[in-house]
Structure 1
Amino acid sequence: MSESARRPYDLATPAPNGLRRGRTTGSCATAAVKAALTLLLRGEAVREVEVSLPDPDYYLVVPVEKVERLDSGAVRAEVLKYGGDDPDNTDGATIFAEVSANGTGAIRFIAATGVGTVTQPGLRIPPGEPAINPVPRQMMRWAVDEVLAGEPDPGFDLAIGCVDGDKIAKRTFNPMLGIVGGISILGTSGIVEPMSLAAWMASIEVYIRVALGHCPDAIAFTPGKIGRGYAADTLGLEKKEVVQIANFVGVSLDYAQQTLEEQQARLGTLWVLGHPGKIAKLLDGVWDTHSSKSGMAMGSVAAVAAELGFAAELVEQIEKANTVENVVQIVRNEAGARAYWMEIERRVAALMAPKVPSVDRVAVRLFSMDGTPLGEAAGDASGEAA
């Protein structure tokens, strides 16, 4: 779509569950970068900026709290994080950017006060880098290009921070993930979808009823986006037959069973598709996989590795991994890797099945963060997209 045809994203329009959407830390940091650059390069102190979103049809208008020149020659801009109705540890936090030209012709991302630094493998950002995820980095690059508007690019240092971010981070998983010093700058769409509330659970029930409404042979549950491509391309499911259940695994199974009982119907196959970081938590009897209500799954996946006869050193590595994605990397080259993930799939499916007696078969398929099939799906030639 052309630049002129883009539309502002309206945060005042509620999500399908009736709740308010918000701005990610990534959108806030990008807005701060754009406001700071506008003063640095154009001499204009703006009160709001347009942030380009990954969806090319939209941009987001973000208010700017403050923008000022620093004695160092850099410019600092501040933006308040707004999480909508989603419970979020960073809601109301001040996200800031301190921007200066560096003369290298390249953008350098820096962790300012309150933004963490990655210290362990297994995340989307390598150790030693600021905890600024790939999509927010791309959004900031777009912002730089938009302010330059074709002028020569001297290169810029983008120092991203958060007021009291070190304190906020203690209420998150960051310390366990090996992210030290503050929060992470996150977001894949630039928009916070209010998913982790009771009202969202009610909307999931509606989606499940729609999925089962025409008595299909199969439907799929996905905690997030991972696995949706497999559902469409390999399983041949319609869009309405794939339900994004967020963290609410247990209640989603209950909704499916209740709906099937009301219909006096049976479902041939319930597919459960996603990343083992969420799904493997069920091995510990966890049915709500939100980080505030559950621990991480390394202990349970390490126990499976031990039972399958993996070397003691490898089991210890798995147990000490900082994320389950790190476990994916640790076992990737092991001869028994696929069998290992297949066993986890089998065990999780066996735990789910008793909750849905009206389903003939529960089948779990696991994928890495980039959508690579890990277990049974790795045998499907076309099973690859997230």
Structure 2
Amino acid sequence: MEEYAYVNGKKLRKGYTTGTCATAATVAALSMILNQEREDKVTVKTASGVELTLKVEDPTFSELEASAAVRKDGGDDADATHGLLIYANVKLLPDQTAITIDGGKGVGRVTQKGLAIPVGMAAINPTPRRMIEENVRQMIGDDCGACVIISVPEGEETARLTYNSRLGILGGISILGTTGIVNPMSEESWKAAITVELTMLYETGHRWVVLAPGNYGEDFTTQVLGIDAGRIVNMSNFVGHVLKEVQRIGFERVLMVGHMGKLVKVAAGIFSTHSKDADARMETLVANLALMGAPLELLEQVDACLTTEAAGELIHAYGYDGIYQILADKIKARSERLLKYRKPEVSVDVVLFASEAGYLASTKPLDVIKEEWQ
């Protein structure tokens, strides 16, 4: 593993996610059952293929059950979960074939619709779940089952420092990670990295750029719109900063592709979309629904939602799907207004989607966008 990243001339240490810790602890515990030997270190591959050797803490084992912990290390992007022990308790079930994965003490439970995990399940995201299951299956074969419980003793207390409760995740932290590696991305270094990526794209002759606020936007762009991944820049939460950099560097056209829950904030003129800076998702929906003449009953229900996915179900049920076109047009107008008094002039188009419903709206017909951006 490359232990450091160089961003804007600074040497920053990488870390690994809670999902990687949970996977490593599971592998360590299962190894102890299979080998009947104490494990002090464990080697695993992350979801992105990076091989890590991590220290095992508090290992215990018996003939069919074991427990092990791996300490979360966020590198130079340390957050509230940095330093937490992530435990895995594994039971072998020789008379079964299923592998079950659940959360114990300190791992949150999903209580609201709209997240990647169904209501009632432990907040262990899809990628960590897949990595745990794949490793267990590889180790025990097809003719045996196992029960894996992930726990974080200090998770409930730590969760108070996160936004989990606002997302309907109660009782602990989430087990997260899409790549397994935490790249050091303080805001300034992250912005600098985005500028480098934009500059490189411009210098290769591109004058149009797709901006996505995250992996979901990138996936929608490539899989649904069919646009080459090499034209996409991940702008994260720095919408206003990146738009201004796009204009400064000299791009002429922007296509913003993002999940409703992120880009709806831009419709209200919020250009730093991290929840620590601003939210106003439901307020923006409520205000625009009210302008459409929506009944008070719908407005109150949307205002009580914790996610735009949950709000979207209500909006569809009441027949107000037209709000998405209004919001897409407002995002375009707000973004172009931000750049109005500088040169060159930048044209912005927008595509909105949701996790469950898929495509919602765009500032041009989707077929036109696909054709223009091929």
| Residues 29 and 67 in structure 2, CA contact (< 8 A), matched pair in contact too | yes
Pairing partner for 1:364 from 350, 353, 356: 350
Superposition CA RMSD, Å: 2.7
| Residues 78 and 97 in structure 1, CA contact (< 8 A), matched pair in contact too | yes
Describe the superposition over 1:60-90 as per-residue Cα deviations: whole angstroms up to 9, x where unpaired: 33322231138x9742101000112224211
Q: Percent identity?
A: 33
Which letter does structure 1 place at the counterpart of 2:91? Answer: S
Structure 1 residue runs of 4 or more that deviate by more than 6 Å after TM superposition: 233-236
Secondary structure in structure 2 of the residue aligned to 1:286 = coil
The alignment status of 1:193 with 2:177, answered yes or no, reads no
Shift in Å at residue 210 of structure 1? Answer: 2.3
| Residues 329 and 363 in structure 2, CA contact (< 8 A), matched pair in contact too | no
The alignment status of 1:127 with 2:119, answered yes or no, reads yes
| Residues 52 and 142 in structure 1, CA contact (< 8 A), matched pair in contact too | no
The alignment status of 1:246 with 2:232, answered yes or no, reads no
Which letter does structure 2 place at the counterpart of 1:271? Answer: L
Question: 1:37-56 counterparts in 2 under 5 A?
Answer: 37-55=30-48
Alpha-carbon distance in 2 for matches of 1:362, 1:30: 42
Shift in Å at residue 240 of structure 1? Answer: 4.2
Q: Which residue of 1 is the match for residue 330 of structure 2?
A: 347
Alpha-carbon distance in 1 for matches of 2:224, 2:130: 30
- Using the TM superposition, name which of 76-85 and 211-220 deviates more: 211-220
Alpha-carbon distance in 2 for matches of 1:36, 1:377: 52
Q: Which residue of 2 is the match for residue 5 of structure 1?
A: none
Alpha-carbon distance in 1 for matches of 2:323, 2:279: 21
Q: Which residue of 2 is the match for residue 279 of structure 1?
A: 263
Alpha-carbon distance in 2 for matches of 1:270, 1:191: 29
Which letter does structure 1 place at the counterpart of 2:272? Answer: D
The alignment status of 1:316 with 2:300, answered yes or no, reads yes
- Using the TM superposition, name which of 340-349 and 352-361 deviates more: 352-361
Q: Which residue of 2 is the match for residue 77 of structure 1?
A: 68
Alpha-carbon distance in 2 for matches of 1:230, 1:370: 12
Which letter does structure 2 place at the counterpart of 1:146? Answer: Q
Pairing partner for 1:183 from 150, 169, 173: 173
Alpha-carbon distance in 2 for matches of 1:223, 1:197: 14
| Residues 210 and 240 in structure 1, CA contact (< 8 A), matched pair in contact too | no
Shift in Å at residue 336 of structure 1? Answer: 3.6
Secondary structure in structure 2 of the residue aligned to 1:128 = coil
Gaps of 5+ in 1: 1-9, 261-265
Q: Which residue of 2 is the match for residue 7 of structure 1?
A: none
Secondary structure in structure 2 of the residue aligned to 1:252 = helix
Q: Which residue of 2 is the match for residue 159 of structure 1?
A: 149
- Using the TM superposition, name which of 304-313 and 219-228 deviates more: 304-313
Aligned in 2, Cα 1:320/1:196: closer, same or farther, shift over 3 Å?
Answer: farther
| Residues 296 and 323 in structure 1, CA contact (< 8 A), matched pair in contact too | no
Q: Which residue of 2 is the match for residue 14 of structure 1?
A: 5
Shift in Å at residue 349 of structure 1? Answer: 1.6
Describe the superposition over 1:151-186 as per-residue Cα deviations: whole angstroms up to 9, x where unpaired: 731x22211111211111011111111211100111
Question: 1:74-223 counterparts in 2 under 5 A?
Answer: 74-102=65-93, 103-148=95-140, 150=141, 152-153=143-144, 155-213=145-203, 216-223=206-213
Q: Which residue of 2 is the match for residue 28 of structure 1?
A: 21
Aligned in 2, Cα 1:336/1:379: closer, same or farther, shift over 3 Å?
Answer: farther
Aligned in 2, Cα 1:108/1:320: closer, same or farther, shift over 3 Å?
Answer: same
- Using the TM superposition, name which of 129-138 and 349-358 deviates more: 349-358
Shift in Å at residue 252 of structure 1? Answer: 0.8
Aligned in 2, Cα 1:147/1:44: closer, same or farther, shift over 3 Å?
Answer: farther
Alpha-carbon distance in 1 for matches of 2:207, 2:273: 27
| Residues 109 and 159 in structure 1, CA contact (< 8 A), matched pair in contact too | yes
Shift in Å at residue 13 of structure 1? Answer: 4.1
Describe the superposition over 1:259-314 as per-residue Cα deviations: whole angstroms up to 9, x where unpaired: 23xxxxx61x2111111222112244332222322235122122222222333333
Secondary structure in structure 1 of the residue aligned to 2:359 = coil
Alpha-carbon distance in 1 for matches of 2:44, 2:16: 11
Shift in Å at residue 372 of structure 1? Answer: 2.1
Secondary structure in structure 2 of the residue aligned to 1:67 = strand
Alpha-carbon distance in 2 for matches of 1:108, 1:25: 19
Alpha-carbon distance in 1 for matches of 2:220, 2:174: 29
| Residues 354 and 360 in structure 2, CA contact (< 8 A), matched pair in contact too | yes
> What TM-score, normalized by structure 1, do the two folds share?
0.85
Aligned in 2, Cα 1:236/1:205: closer, same or farther, shift over 3 Å?
Answer: same
Aligned in 2, Cα 1:377/1:29: closer, same or farther, shift over 3 Å?
Answer: farther
Q: Which residue of 1 is the match for residue 366 of structure 2?
A: 380
